[in-house]
Structure 1
Amino acid sequence: MGLVERDTLISNLSPPFDHLLATQFVDEFLSIERRFIQRDWEPAELDAGQFAEIAFRILYHLDSGNLNLNKEVKDCKRYLVNNDVPHSLNRKDVSHLSNVLGAIYEFRSDRGAVHISPTYSPNHMDSKYLIESVRWCMNEMLRIFWNGDREEVAKTIRELLQFDVPCIGVFGDIIIVQRTDLRPDEEILILLHYAGENGFSRRELGIHSLSSAPLVTNNIKKLSAPDKRQVIQLKNGNYRLTDLGSRRIRLELADKLLLSI
């Protein structure tokens, strides 16, 4: 299982979220993350506004008790900030989320991402601002509404803060790194990044890597050595990235997480 699985997120948010809204919420978030890491700035900006719309409808539903899958953002926000109507949710939580979601929605519209003009060019800085705001909202919604173990939600939030891994392909039970330009140590690091906090066993790394068995073993030893310390073996025998390994992913291998350059 790599990082956070879509169905796990949905099942732990619905209930209390309406199932359709929970599915839209998670799918929109994952789409934004995937397009952002692929440097596809324009869809990231468009999707951020759609994410805000869905989140507003979820908050309106949970706060008012009324489910409306098509309610306008302005109407949702008007209700959420109205102190003269009954509310079910914590007012401070709703206030913070409404402010950030409103900024996402209005910024996207004001920048022109809805109606592309000849002079408008989506850029990295705008998308970076929006993706970080969307991540904060996702993590805050998980913190408040996750229907499960608190340690599990903490783990989920930590993993959501990591990069997506577009170069990893999952075909049934088969996991493969879909790049042919990686060194064995890089392939192992990317596989372990994909594996998240649970890591992979030596056997799983051997199955998922296309390197020879001795090469996999030798590179695990090198990455675990005192002069590297980028990989550590857990008590259950699995290997996972250390903070140094994650740092190398961010600083040196971010481009290689893409399916192609």
Structure 2
Amino acid sequence: MLLALYEIRNNRGVSHAGGDIDPNLMDATAVLYMSKWLMAELVRIFHNLTVEQAASLVETLVVREVPQIWTEGSRKRVLSPGLTWKQRMLLLLLSENGPTQESDLVKWLEHPNIARFRRDVLRPAHKESLIDYEEEGRTVRLLPPGVLKAEDLVMPK
């Protein structure tokens, strides 16, 4: 796997940071997931963790760049006008690692009514398996189908 990473880095233009070079999305995706796997294996081996624990730890280290999200300290805003509440929520959750407090989402979205937000956005998105909405603790976590939808908003095809 290290040889494949080295090959992509040296021969496919992924590592070049010049403004006129646009790395191929497939190459960048391959590099990301190979690197995550390698890091998870190193963490697992050197820290006596299970595969699941190591992968979870590595996932928390990955910071997703979401250009449509402005962040300053604990403040966030969605910079793309014309998106639905659900789409804006998915982008915000994509920019987070792990569960997010419902109150933070409502504050970042500047939604006028938390009860309507639960009814019209959180519960339907939970039923669609885009998010895991834990009503008792009022936390929201992005699920893999939600990640895919959010990534489509970041990089439309």
TM-score normalised over the length of structure 1: 0.44
Percent identity of paired positions between Structure 1 and Structure 2: 23
Question: Counterparts of 1:90-109 in structure 2 under 5 Å?
Answer: 100-109=1-10
Matched, 1:247 2:149: no
The CA distance in 1 between the partners of 2:34 and 2:152, in whole Å, is: 23
Q: How many pairs align?
A: 149
Paired residue for 1:13?
Answer: none
Paired residue for 2:43?
Answer: 142
SS for the counterpart of 1:169 is strand
Aligned residues of 1:169 and 1:176 also touching (Cα < 8 A):
yes
Go from structure 1 to structure 2 and tell me whether the alpha carbon gap of 1:142 and 1:175 turns closer, same or farther (over 3 Å shift). Answer: farther
Aligned residues of 2:98 and 2:141 also touching (Cα < 8 A):
yes
The CA distance in 1 between the partners of 2:29 and 2:38, in whole Å, is: 14
Deviation at 1:158?
A: 4.1
- Higher Cα radius of gyration: 1
Q: 1:219 corresponds to which letter in structure 2?
A: V
Greater per-residue helix proportion: 1
Q: Deviations over 1:165-190 (max 9, x none)?
A: 33222202212222223111111222
Question: Counterparts of 1:14-163 in structure 2 under 5 Å?
Answer: 100-111=1-12, 122-145=23-46, 153-159=54-60
The CA distance in 2 between the partners of 1:127 and 1:187, in whole Å, is: 25
Matched, 1:205 2:102: no
Paired residue for 1:230?
Answer: 130
Q: 1:189 corresponds to which letter in structure 2?
A: L
4+ runs deviating over 6 angstroms:
112-115
Deviation at 1:144?
A: 3.1
Aligned CA RMSD, in angstroms, stands at 3.8
SS for the counterpart of 1:253 is helix
Compare relative contact order (CA 8 Å, sep 6+) and give the higher one, 1 or 2. 1
Deviation at 1:229?
A: 4.1
Deviation at 1:210?
A: 2.8
Unpaired runs of 5+ residues, structure 2, are none
Go from structure 1 to structure 2 and tell me whether the alpha carbon gap of 1:146 and 1:171 turns closer, same or farther (over 3 Å shift). Answer: farther
Deviation at 1:163?
A: 5.3
SS for the counterpart of 1:195 is coil
Aligned residues of 2:41 and 2:54 also touching (Cα < 8 A):
no
Aligned residues of 1:191 and 1:205 also touching (Cα < 8 A):
yes
Deviation at 1:112?
A: 6.7
Q: 2:152 corresponds to which letter in structure 1?
A: D
Aligned residues of 2:129 and 2:145 also touching (Cα < 8 A):
no
Greater per-residue strand proportion: 2
Q: 2:92 corresponds to which letter in structure 1?
A: L
Deviation at 1:212?
A: 2.1
Aligned residues of 1:174 and 1:208 also touching (Cα < 8 A):
yes
SS for the counterpart of 2:36 is helix
Deviation at 1:105?
A: 2.0
SS for the counterpart of 2:101 is coil
TM-score normalised over the length of structure 2: 0.66
